[in-house]
Amino acid sequence: MKHIDENKIQDLLNNAGKAGEDKIVPILNKSRSLKRLAIEETAALLAVNDPRLVKKIFEAAAYVKNAIYGNRVVLFAPLYISNFCANECVYCAFQSGNAGLKRKYLNAAEIREQVEWLLKRGHKRILVVAGESGVPGKSAIEYYAEAVEAAYSARVGQHYIKRVNINCAPLSVEDFKKLKASNIGTFQLFQETYHDDTYRKCHLKGPKSDPDNRLDAIDRAFSAGIDDVGIGPLYGLYDYRFETLAMMMHIEHLEKKFNVGPHTISVPRIEPAVGSEFSLHPPYQVSDDDFKKLVAVIRLSVPYTGMILTTRETAEMRDEVISLGISQISAESKTSPGGYSDSEKWDGQFTTSDKRSLEELVGMLIEKNYIPSFCAACYRRERTGESFMSLAKPGLIKGMCSVNALVTFKEYLADFASPKIKETGYELIERETAKLDEKSRAQISKLFSAVDAGMRDEYV
Ligand code: SAM
Ligand code: SF4
Protein backbone atom coordinates (compact mmCIF):
# COMPACT_ATOMS: atom_id res chain seq x y z
CA MET A 1 0.00 0.00 0.00
CA LYS A 2 1.26 3.48 -0.85
CA HIS A 3 2.79 5.43 2.10
CA ILE A 4 2.73 2.31 4.30
CA ASP A 5 6.12 0.66 4.68
CA GLU A 6 5.17 -2.77 6.01
CA ASN A 7 8.80 -3.88 6.48
CA LYS A 8 9.57 -0.83 8.58
CA ILE A 9 6.49 -1.46 10.73
CA GLN A 10 7.47 -5.09 11.18
CA ASP A 11 11.00 -4.02 12.23
CA LEU A 12 9.56 -1.52 14.69
CA LEU A 13 7.35 -4.22 16.20
CA ASN A 14 10.21 -6.69 16.44
CA ASN A 15 12.57 -4.17 18.06
CA ALA A 16 10.09 -2.57 20.43
CA GLY A 17 9.67 -5.68 22.57
CA LYS A 18 11.83 -4.98 25.58
CA ALA A 19 11.35 -1.34 26.52
CA GLY A 20 11.52 -0.88 30.31
CA GLU A 21 10.69 2.04 32.58
CA ASP A 22 13.91 3.86 31.61
CA LYS A 23 12.73 4.10 28.01
CA ILE A 24 8.97 4.49 28.57
CA VAL A 25 8.97 7.27 31.19
CA PRO A 26 10.86 9.81 28.99
CA ILE A 27 8.38 9.11 26.18
CA LEU A 28 5.48 9.77 28.54
CA ASN A 29 7.15 12.97 29.70
CA LYS A 30 7.43 14.11 26.08
CA SER A 31 3.70 13.45 25.66
CA ARG A 32 2.93 15.37 28.81
CA SER A 33 4.57 18.39 27.18
CA LEU A 34 1.89 17.92 24.46
CA LYS A 35 4.38 17.02 21.75
CA ARG A 36 3.50 14.57 19.03
CA LEU A 37 5.41 11.28 19.29
CA ALA A 38 7.75 9.73 16.71
CA ILE A 39 6.59 6.41 15.29
CA GLU A 40 9.37 4.56 17.16
CA GLU A 41 8.01 5.99 20.42
CA THR A 42 4.48 4.89 19.58
CA ALA A 43 5.84 1.40 18.86
CA ALA A 44 7.58 1.31 22.25
CA LEU A 45 4.35 2.25 24.06
CA LEU A 46 2.30 -0.31 22.17
CA ALA A 47 4.72 -3.04 23.23
CA VAL A 48 4.25 -2.34 26.95
CA ASN A 49 2.52 -5.12 28.88
CA ASP A 50 3.81 -4.59 32.42
CA PRO A 51 0.66 -3.50 34.36
CA ARG A 52 2.65 -0.90 36.31
CA LEU A 53 3.79 0.76 33.07
CA VAL A 54 0.37 0.41 31.45
CA LYS A 55 -1.00 2.34 34.44
CA LYS A 56 1.54 5.11 33.78
CA ILE A 57 0.46 5.20 30.12
CA PHE A 58 -3.17 5.62 31.22
CA GLU A 59 -2.25 8.40 33.65
CA ALA A 60 -0.30 10.26 30.96
CA ALA A 61 -3.14 9.84 28.42
CA ALA A 62 -5.66 11.20 30.94
CA TYR A 63 -3.33 14.15 31.60
CA VAL A 64 -2.97 14.95 27.88
CA LYS A 65 -6.69 14.59 27.22
CA ASN A 66 -7.46 16.96 30.05
CA ALA A 67 -4.77 19.47 29.04
CA ILE A 68 -6.08 19.74 25.49
CA TYR A 69 -9.79 18.96 25.64
CA GLY A 70 -10.54 19.75 29.27
CA ASN A 71 -13.57 17.79 30.43
CA ARG A 72 -15.75 18.37 27.36
CA VAL A 73 -17.26 15.45 25.44
CA VAL A 74 -19.07 16.13 22.15
CA LEU A 75 -22.21 14.08 21.38
CA PHE A 76 -23.53 13.02 17.97
CA ALA A 77 -25.76 10.42 16.33
CA PRO A 78 -25.16 8.43 13.14
CA LEU A 79 -27.83 8.58 10.44
CA TYR A 80 -27.82 5.56 8.14
CA ILE A 81 -29.39 6.59 4.84
CA SER A 82 -28.88 3.45 2.72
CA ASN A 83 -27.78 -0.16 3.08
CA PHE A 84 -27.32 -0.74 -0.66
CA CYS A 85 -23.70 -1.52 -1.43
CA ALA A 86 -21.59 -2.63 -4.40
CA ASN A 87 -18.81 -4.05 -2.25
CA GLU A 88 -18.20 -7.34 -0.57
CA CYS A 89 -16.52 -6.58 2.76
CA VAL A 90 -16.51 -9.87 4.64
CA TYR A 91 -17.24 -8.30 8.04
CA CYS A 92 -20.27 -6.19 7.05
CA ALA A 93 -23.98 -6.97 6.83
CA PHE A 94 -24.37 -4.59 3.86
CA GLN A 95 -22.01 -6.63 1.59
CA SER A 96 -23.60 -7.10 -1.82
CA GLY A 97 -23.69 -10.91 -1.58
CA ASN A 98 -25.82 -10.85 1.59
CA ALA A 99 -29.00 -11.95 -0.16
CA GLY A 100 -30.99 -12.21 3.07
CA LEU A 101 -30.58 -8.53 3.93
CA LYS A 102 -33.64 -6.31 3.46
CA ARG A 103 -32.40 -3.32 1.44
CA LYS A 104 -33.62 0.22 1.87
CA TYR A 105 -32.55 3.74 0.98
CA LEU A 106 -34.15 6.83 2.42
CA ASN A 107 -35.45 9.61 0.19
CA ALA A 108 -35.17 13.28 1.19
CA ALA A 109 -38.52 13.26 3.03
CA GLU A 110 -37.59 10.11 4.96
CA ILE A 111 -34.20 11.60 5.85
CA ARG A 112 -35.91 14.71 7.22
CA GLU A 113 -38.26 12.51 9.24
CA GLN A 114 -35.31 10.68 10.82
CA VAL A 115 -33.51 13.95 11.54
CA GLU A 116 -36.65 15.39 13.14
CA TRP A 117 -36.69 12.40 15.50
CA LEU A 118 -33.09 13.16 16.46
CA LEU A 119 -33.78 16.89 16.81
CA LYS A 120 -36.63 16.18 19.22
CA ARG A 121 -34.18 14.36 21.49
CA GLY A 122 -31.75 17.29 21.46
CA HIS A 123 -29.19 16.19 18.86
CA LYS A 124 -27.33 18.92 16.99
CA ARG A 125 -24.62 16.92 15.20
CA ILE A 126 -25.07 13.89 12.97
CA LEU A 127 -22.90 11.55 10.92
CA VAL A 128 -24.57 10.49 7.66
CA VAL A 129 -23.58 6.88 6.83
CA ALA A 130 -24.15 5.00 3.58
CA GLY A 131 -23.10 1.94 1.62
CA GLU A 132 -21.17 2.45 -1.60
CA SER A 133 -23.92 2.86 -4.15
CA GLY A 134 -26.12 5.32 -5.96
CA VAL A 135 -29.90 4.95 -5.86
CA PRO A 136 -32.35 4.66 -8.79
CA GLY A 137 -31.92 7.75 -10.98
CA LYS A 138 -29.04 9.18 -8.94
CA SER A 139 -25.29 8.61 -8.81
CA ALA A 140 -23.65 8.07 -5.42
CA ILE A 141 -22.46 11.70 -5.18
CA GLU A 142 -25.87 13.09 -6.20
CA TYR A 143 -27.52 10.96 -3.54
CA TYR A 144 -24.98 11.82 -0.80
CA ALA A 145 -25.15 15.57 -1.53
CA GLU A 146 -28.97 15.57 -1.52
CA ALA A 147 -28.98 13.58 1.71
CA VAL A 148 -26.72 16.12 3.42
CA GLU A 149 -28.92 18.98 2.20
CA ALA A 150 -32.07 17.18 3.38
CA ALA A 151 -30.50 16.64 6.81
CA TYR A 152 -29.61 20.34 7.13
CA SER A 153 -33.08 21.39 6.01
CA ALA A 154 -34.97 19.49 8.75
CA ARG A 155 -36.52 21.73 11.42
CA VAL A 156 -38.23 21.13 14.75
CA GLY A 157 -39.28 24.55 16.03
CA GLN A 158 -36.06 26.57 16.15
CA HIS A 159 -33.89 23.46 16.25
CA TYR A 160 -31.83 22.19 13.34
CA ILE A 161 -28.67 20.16 12.79
CA LYS A 162 -25.61 22.37 12.98
CA ARG A 163 -23.02 19.99 11.63
CA VAL A 164 -23.51 17.09 9.23
CA ASN A 165 -20.46 14.84 8.92
CA ILE A 166 -20.43 11.96 6.48
CA ASN A 167 -18.99 8.44 6.24
CA CYS A 168 -19.54 7.30 2.67
CA ALA A 169 -17.75 5.83 -0.33
CA PRO A 170 -14.46 7.32 -1.56
CA LEU A 171 -15.00 9.76 -4.42
CA SER A 172 -13.05 11.47 -7.21
CA VAL A 173 -11.65 14.97 -6.56
CA GLU A 174 -14.44 16.35 -8.73
CA ASP A 175 -17.13 14.60 -6.66
CA PHE A 176 -15.44 15.49 -3.37
CA LYS A 177 -15.77 19.14 -4.44
CA LYS A 178 -19.52 18.60 -4.86
CA LEU A 179 -19.69 16.96 -1.44
CA LYS A 180 -17.85 19.91 0.10
CA ALA A 181 -20.29 22.28 -1.61
CA SER A 182 -23.12 20.52 0.23
CA ASN A 183 -21.54 21.93 3.40
CA ILE A 184 -20.36 18.75 5.12
CA GLY A 185 -18.28 18.99 8.27
CA THR A 186 -15.92 16.01 8.43
CA PHE A 187 -15.49 13.43 5.68
CA GLN A 188 -14.81 10.14 7.44
CA LEU A 189 -13.31 7.07 5.80
CA PHE A 190 -11.73 4.09 7.51
CA GLN A 191 -8.93 2.23 5.76
CA GLU A 192 -10.20 -0.88 7.64
CA THR A 193 -6.75 -2.52 7.49
CA TYR A 194 -3.41 -1.09 6.42
CA HIS A 195 -2.05 -4.61 5.88
CA ASP A 196 -2.14 -5.15 2.12
CA ASP A 197 -2.60 -8.92 2.07
CA THR A 198 -5.33 -8.83 4.73
CA TYR A 199 -7.05 -5.97 2.92
CA ARG A 200 -7.29 -7.97 -0.29
CA LYS A 201 -8.64 -11.02 1.56
CA CYS A 202 -11.35 -9.02 3.32
CA HIS A 203 -12.61 -6.92 0.39
CA LEU A 204 -13.62 -9.37 -2.26
CA LYS A 205 -15.52 -7.40 -4.87
CA GLY A 206 -16.44 -3.90 -5.99
CA PRO A 207 -14.52 -0.60 -6.05
CA LYS A 208 -13.40 -1.05 -2.45
CA SER A 209 -11.29 -4.09 -3.37
CA ASP A 210 -8.45 -1.75 -4.45
CA PRO A 211 -6.58 -0.76 -1.25
CA ASP A 212 -4.59 2.06 -2.86
CA ASN A 213 -7.67 3.72 -4.26
CA ARG A 214 -9.11 3.76 -0.74
CA LEU A 215 -5.95 5.06 0.90
CA ASP A 216 -5.61 7.75 -1.75
CA ALA A 217 -9.19 8.91 -1.12
CA ILE A 218 -8.11 10.96 1.90
CA ASP A 219 -5.55 12.74 -0.32
CA ARG A 220 -8.27 13.40 -2.88
CA ALA A 221 -10.59 14.79 -0.20
CA PHE A 222 -7.83 17.22 0.91
CA SER A 223 -7.12 18.12 -2.73
CA ALA A 224 -10.80 18.97 -3.15
CA GLY A 225 -10.62 21.36 -0.19
CA ILE A 226 -12.12 19.12 2.50
CA ASP A 227 -9.69 19.73 5.32
CA ASP A 228 -11.54 18.00 8.18
CA VAL A 229 -11.11 14.28 7.56
CA GLY A 230 -11.60 11.33 9.89
CA ILE A 231 -9.67 8.08 9.60
CA GLY A 232 -9.29 4.78 11.46
CA PRO A 233 -8.61 1.08 11.15
CA LEU A 234 -11.32 -1.48 11.80
CA TYR A 235 -9.72 -3.28 14.71
CA GLY A 236 -9.90 -7.08 14.52
CA LEU A 237 -8.80 -7.63 10.92
CA TYR A 238 -5.04 -7.65 11.67
CA ASP A 239 -2.60 -7.08 14.57
CA TYR A 240 -3.72 -3.92 16.42
CA ARG A 241 -0.13 -2.79 16.91
CA PHE A 242 0.57 -3.00 13.17
CA GLU A 243 -2.64 -1.10 12.37
CA THR A 244 -1.91 1.66 14.87
CA LEU A 245 1.65 2.18 13.59
CA ALA A 246 0.51 2.09 9.97
CA MET A 247 -2.13 4.71 10.78
CA MET A 248 0.67 6.87 12.25
CA MET A 249 2.53 6.48 8.94
CA HIS A 250 -0.60 7.50 7.08
CA ILE A 251 -0.86 10.57 9.31
CA GLU A 252 2.82 11.44 8.72
CA HIS A 253 2.15 11.30 4.98
CA LEU A 254 -0.85 13.64 5.28
CA GLU A 255 1.03 16.07 7.50
CA LYS A 256 3.92 16.19 5.04
CA LYS A 257 1.73 16.67 2.00
CA PHE A 258 -1.08 18.86 3.35
CA ASN A 259 0.47 20.37 6.47
CA VAL A 260 -2.29 18.93 8.61
CA GLY A 261 -3.32 15.45 9.73
CA PRO A 262 -6.80 14.05 10.31
CA HIS A 263 -9.32 15.98 12.40
CA THR A 264 -10.48 12.77 14.09
CA ILE A 265 -9.47 9.16 14.57
CA SER A 266 -12.07 6.44 15.17
CA VAL A 267 -11.32 3.16 16.90
CA PRO A 268 -14.07 0.74 15.79
CA ARG A 269 -13.82 -2.92 16.81
CA ILE A 270 -15.64 -5.52 14.72
CA GLU A 271 -19.12 -6.34 16.04
CA PRO A 272 -21.47 -9.16 14.99
CA ALA A 273 -23.17 -8.43 11.66
CA VAL A 274 -26.18 -10.26 10.20
CA GLY A 275 -25.06 -12.60 7.39
CA SER A 276 -21.34 -12.29 8.16
CA GLU A 277 -19.89 -15.41 9.76
CA PHE A 278 -16.52 -13.61 9.70
CA SER A 279 -17.77 -10.86 12.02
CA LEU A 280 -18.50 -13.46 14.72
CA HIS A 281 -14.86 -14.60 14.86
CA PRO A 282 -12.55 -11.77 13.78
CA PRO A 283 -9.05 -13.19 13.22
CA TYR A 284 -7.29 -10.59 15.40
CA GLN A 285 -9.95 -9.78 17.98
CA VAL A 286 -8.61 -7.03 20.25
CA SER A 287 -8.95 -7.77 23.97
CA ASP A 288 -10.47 -5.14 26.26
CA ASP A 289 -7.08 -4.51 27.89
CA ASP A 290 -5.36 -4.01 24.55
CA PHE A 291 -8.21 -1.78 23.40
CA LYS A 292 -7.80 0.55 26.38
CA LYS A 293 -4.06 0.63 25.78
CA LEU A 294 -4.37 1.46 22.10
CA VAL A 295 -6.78 4.33 22.81
CA ALA A 296 -4.34 5.75 25.35
CA VAL A 297 -1.35 5.31 23.02
CA ILE A 298 -3.12 7.07 20.13
CA ARG A 299 -4.01 9.92 22.51
CA LEU A 300 -0.34 10.25 23.48
CA SER A 301 0.95 9.92 19.91
CA VAL A 302 -1.18 12.62 18.25
CA PRO A 303 -2.43 14.78 21.14
CA TYR A 304 -4.35 17.29 18.99
CA THR A 305 -6.39 14.84 16.95
CA GLY A 306 -9.94 14.26 18.17
CA MET A 307 -10.92 10.68 18.99
CA ILE A 308 -14.33 9.10 18.47
CA LEU A 309 -15.84 6.18 20.40
CA THR A 310 -19.10 4.69 19.16
CA THR A 311 -21.90 2.57 20.60
CA ARG A 312 -20.13 -0.53 19.23
CA GLU A 313 -18.54 -0.56 22.70
CA THR A 314 -20.42 -1.48 25.87
CA ALA A 315 -21.61 1.18 28.30
CA GLU A 316 -19.00 0.05 30.86
CA MET A 317 -16.14 0.23 28.33
CA ARG A 318 -17.22 3.64 27.06
CA ASP A 319 -17.54 5.11 30.54
CA GLU A 320 -14.01 3.95 31.33
CA VAL A 321 -12.24 4.77 28.06
CA ILE A 322 -13.50 8.36 27.72
CA SER A 323 -10.92 9.46 30.28
CA LEU A 324 -8.09 7.94 28.22
CA GLY A 325 -8.49 10.33 25.33
CA ILE A 326 -11.93 10.29 23.73
CA SER A 327 -13.36 13.66 22.64
CA GLN A 328 -16.57 12.57 20.85
CA ILE A 329 -19.12 9.82 21.50
CA SER A 330 -22.19 8.72 19.58
CA ALA A 331 -25.53 8.30 21.32
CA GLU A 332 -28.57 6.03 20.90
CA SER A 333 -27.30 4.88 17.48
CA LYS A 334 -29.27 2.79 15.03
CA THR A 335 -27.29 1.23 12.16
CA SER A 336 -30.21 0.67 9.78
CA PRO A 337 -31.78 3.17 7.38
CA GLY A 338 -34.97 4.43 9.02
CA GLY A 339 -33.93 2.90 12.34
CA TYR A 340 -35.04 5.87 14.45
CA SER A 341 -38.71 5.75 13.49
CA ASP A 342 -41.22 3.20 14.66
CA SER A 343 -42.28 2.01 11.23
CA GLU A 344 -40.86 -1.04 9.45
CA LYS A 345 -37.42 -2.09 10.68
CA TRP A 346 -34.68 -2.67 8.11
CA ASP A 347 -31.53 -4.63 8.81
CA GLY A 348 -28.63 -2.88 10.49
CA GLN A 349 -24.92 -2.94 9.63
CA PHE A 350 -23.78 -4.47 12.91
CA THR A 351 -24.99 -4.88 16.49
CA THR A 352 -24.50 -1.96 18.84
CA SER A 353 -23.79 -2.54 22.53
CA ASP A 354 -24.38 0.73 24.34
CA LYS A 355 -28.14 1.28 23.96
CA ARG A 356 -28.45 4.23 26.36
CA SER A 357 -30.54 7.22 25.29
CA LEU A 358 -28.99 10.64 24.75
CA GLU A 359 -30.43 11.77 28.07
CA GLU A 360 -28.96 8.76 29.88
CA LEU A 361 -25.55 9.51 28.38
CA VAL A 362 -25.85 13.15 29.36
CA GLY A 363 -26.67 11.98 32.90
CA MET A 364 -23.61 9.71 32.95
CA LEU A 365 -21.34 12.54 31.71
CA ILE A 366 -22.66 14.93 34.35
CA GLU A 367 -22.13 12.32 37.06
CA LYS A 368 -18.53 11.86 35.97
CA ASN A 369 -17.99 15.61 35.78
CA TYR A 370 -17.75 15.87 32.00
CA ILE A 371 -19.44 18.71 30.11
CA PRO A 372 -21.77 17.28 27.44
CA SER A 373 -21.17 19.47 24.39
CA PHE A 374 -23.26 20.01 21.25
CA CYS A 375 -20.88 22.58 19.85
CA ALA A 376 -20.25 23.01 16.12
CA ALA A 377 -18.79 26.51 16.32
CA CYS A 378 -15.34 25.88 14.83
CA TYR A 379 -16.73 24.47 11.65
CA ARG A 380 -19.25 27.28 11.33
CA ARG A 381 -16.58 29.91 11.93
CA GLU A 382 -14.35 28.15 9.38
CA ARG A 383 -11.86 27.09 12.04
CA THR A 384 -11.07 23.83 10.25
CA GLY A 385 -7.98 21.93 9.06
CA GLU A 386 -4.73 23.87 9.44
CA SER A 387 -6.44 26.99 10.76
CA PHE A 388 -8.02 24.92 13.59
CA MET A 389 -4.67 23.32 14.45
CA SER A 390 -2.87 26.68 14.47
CA LEU A 391 -5.29 27.82 17.18
CA ALA A 392 -5.45 24.50 19.03
CA LYS A 393 -1.70 23.90 19.36
CA PRO A 394 -0.81 27.10 21.24
CA GLY A 395 -3.88 26.53 23.44
CA LEU A 396 -5.78 29.50 21.98
CA ILE A 397 -8.95 27.56 21.36
CA LYS A 398 -9.44 26.07 24.80
CA GLY A 399 -11.29 29.05 26.33
CA MET A 400 -13.62 29.31 23.33
CA CYS A 401 -14.37 25.59 23.48
CA SER A 402 -15.30 25.69 27.15
CA VAL A 403 -17.61 28.66 26.60
CA ASN A 404 -19.28 27.07 23.57
CA ALA A 405 -19.63 23.68 25.27
CA LEU A 406 -21.32 25.25 28.30
CA VAL A 407 -23.65 27.41 26.20
CA THR A 408 -24.77 24.50 23.99
CA PHE A 409 -25.23 22.38 27.11
CA LYS A 410 -27.34 25.08 28.73
CA GLU A 411 -29.50 25.22 25.58
CA TYR A 412 -29.92 21.42 25.75
CA LEU A 413 -30.93 21.57 29.41
CA ALA A 414 -33.44 24.34 28.81
CA ASP A 415 -35.11 22.64 25.83
CA PHE A 416 -34.85 18.88 26.31
CA ALA A 417 -33.78 17.73 29.77
CA SER A 418 -35.94 16.12 32.45
CA PRO A 419 -36.17 17.94 35.82
CA LYS A 420 -33.58 15.61 37.38
CA ILE A 421 -31.01 16.17 34.62
CA LYS A 422 -31.77 19.90 34.67
CA GLU A 423 -30.93 20.06 38.36
CA THR A 424 -27.56 18.25 38.16
CA GLY A 425 -26.77 19.88 34.80
CA TYR A 426 -27.21 23.45 36.06
CA GLU A 427 -25.04 22.60 39.07
CA LEU A 428 -22.32 21.39 36.69
CA ILE A 429 -22.61 24.60 34.67
CA GLU A 430 -22.18 26.66 37.81
CA ARG A 431 -19.07 24.71 38.88
CA GLU A 432 -17.53 24.89 35.41
CA THR A 433 -18.29 28.59 34.89
CA ALA A 434 -16.49 29.39 38.13
CA LYS A 435 -13.33 27.80 36.70
CA LEU A 436 -13.21 30.11 33.64
CA ASP A 437 -10.91 33.13 33.39
CA GLU A 438 -12.39 36.61 33.66
CA LYS A 439 -12.67 37.23 29.91
CA SER A 440 -14.46 33.93 29.29
CA ARG A 441 -16.77 34.53 32.28
CA ALA A 442 -17.77 37.90 30.83
CA GLN A 443 -18.40 36.28 27.44
CA ILE A 444 -20.43 33.46 28.88
CA SER A 445 -22.57 35.64 31.08
CA LYS A 446 -23.79 37.56 27.98
CA LEU A 447 -24.47 34.32 26.10
CA PHE A 448 -26.29 32.79 29.07
CA SER A 449 -28.53 35.87 29.34
CA ALA A 450 -29.38 35.48 25.65
CA VAL A 451 -30.27 31.80 26.18
CA ASP A 452 -32.41 32.71 29.21
CA ALA A 453 -34.19 35.26 27.02
CA GLY A 454 -35.11 32.45 24.61
CA MET A 455 -32.41 33.00 22.00
CA ARG A 456 -30.72 29.90 20.63
CA ASP A 457 -27.64 28.94 18.69
CA GLU A 458 -25.32 31.24 20.61
CA TYR A 459 -21.57 30.72 20.19
CA VAL A 460 -18.19 32.43 19.92
N1 SAM B 1 -19.65 2.05 2.97
C2 SAM B 1 -18.69 2.99 3.38
C3 SAM B 1 -17.37 2.37 3.72
O4 SAM B 1 -17.31 1.19 3.95
O5 SAM B 1 -16.44 3.14 3.81
C6 SAM B 1 -19.10 3.80 4.56
C7 SAM B 1 -20.03 3.29 5.56
S8 SAM B 1 -19.60 1.83 6.42
C9 SAM B 1 -21.29 1.57 6.63
C10 SAM B 1 -18.83 2.47 7.91
C11 SAM B 1 -17.82 1.64 8.59
O12 SAM B 1 -18.45 0.62 9.34
C13 SAM B 1 -16.85 0.86 7.73
O14 SAM B 1 -15.81 1.67 7.27
C15 SAM B 1 -16.37 -0.23 8.68
O16 SAM B 1 -15.17 0.14 9.32
C17 SAM B 1 -17.46 -0.29 9.74
N18 SAM B 1 -18.01 -1.65 9.86
C19 SAM B 1 -18.45 -2.45 8.89
N20 SAM B 1 -18.83 -3.65 9.39
C21 SAM B 1 -18.64 -3.58 10.73
C22 SAM B 1 -18.82 -4.52 11.81
N23 SAM B 1 -19.29 -5.74 11.61
N24 SAM B 1 -18.51 -4.10 13.07
C25 SAM B 1 -18.04 -2.88 13.29
N26 SAM B 1 -17.84 -1.95 12.32
C27 SAM B 1 -18.13 -2.31 11.04
FE1 SF4 C 1 -20.38 -1.66 1.85
FE2 SF4 C 1 -19.07 -0.15 3.64
FE3 SF4 C 1 -20.27 -2.43 4.39
FE4 SF4 C 1 -18.14 -2.54 2.88
S5 SF4 C 1 -18.23 -1.70 4.98
S6 SF4 C 1 -20.00 -3.73 2.56
S7 SF4 C 1 -18.37 -0.74 1.62
S8 SF4 C 1 -21.26 -0.60 3.62
Mutate to test the pocket of ligand 1, among 79, 92, 243 (most ligand atoms within 8 A of CB): 92
Q: Which pLDDT value is given to residue 342?
A: 60
Looking at the CA of residue 133, tell me the nearest atom of ligand 2.
Answer: 1
The residue whose CA is least distant from atom 8 of ligand 2 is: 131
Find the largest Cα–Cα distance for the chain: 63
Residues whose beta carbon lies within 6 Å of some atom of ligand 1: 91-92, 129, 131-132, 167-169, 189-190, 192, 234, 268, 270-271, 273, 279, 312, 349-350
| HEC sequence for the chain | CCCCCHHHHHHHHHHHHHCCHHHHHHHHHHHHCCCCCCHHHHHHHHCCCCHHHHHHHHHHHHHHHHHHHCCEEEEEEEEEEECCCCCCECCCCCCCCCCCCCCCECCHHHHHHHHHHHHHHCCCEEEEEECCCCECCECHHHHHHHHHHHHHHCCECCECCCEEEEECCCCCHHHHHHHHHCCCCCEECCCECCCHHHHHHHECCCHHHCHHHHHHHHHHHHHCCCCCEEECECECCCCHHHHHHHHHHHHHHHHHHHCCCCCEEECCECCCECCEHHHHCCCCCCCHHHHHHHHHHHHHHCCCCEEEECCCCCHHHHHHHHHHCCCEEECCCCCCCCCCCCCCCCCCCCCCCCCCCHHHHHHHHHHCCCEEECCCHHHHCCCCHHHHHHHHCCCCCHHHHHHHHHHHHHHHHHHHCCHHHHHHHHHHHHHHHHCCCHHHHHHHHHHHHHHHCCCCCCCC
CA of residue 187 to ligand 1 center, whole Å: 14
Looking at the CA of residue 93, tell me the nearest atom of ligand 2.
Answer: 3
Q: Which pLDDT value is given to residue 376?
A: 83
Looking at the CA of residue 273, tell me the nearest atom of ligand 1.
Answer: 23
Looking at the CA of residue 349, tell me the nearest atom of ligand 2.
Answer: 3
The residue whose CA is least distant from atom 14 of ligand 1 is: 190
Number of the ligand closest to the Cα of 207:
2
Mutate to test the pocket of ligand 2, among 81, 87, 168, 214 (most ligand atoms within 8 A of CB): 87
Q: Which pLDDT value is given to residue 395?
A: 62
Q: Which pLDDT value is given to residue 379?
A: 62
Q: Which pLDDT value is given to residue 377?
A: 79
CB of 95 within 6 A of ligand 2: the answer is yes
CA distance 264 to 243: 16
Number of the ligand closest to the Cα of 81:
1
Number of the ligand closest to the Cα of 83:
2
Q: Which pLDDT value is given to residue 243?
A: 98
pLDDT < 70 stretches in the chain: 342-346, 379-381, 383, 387-388, 391-392, 394-399
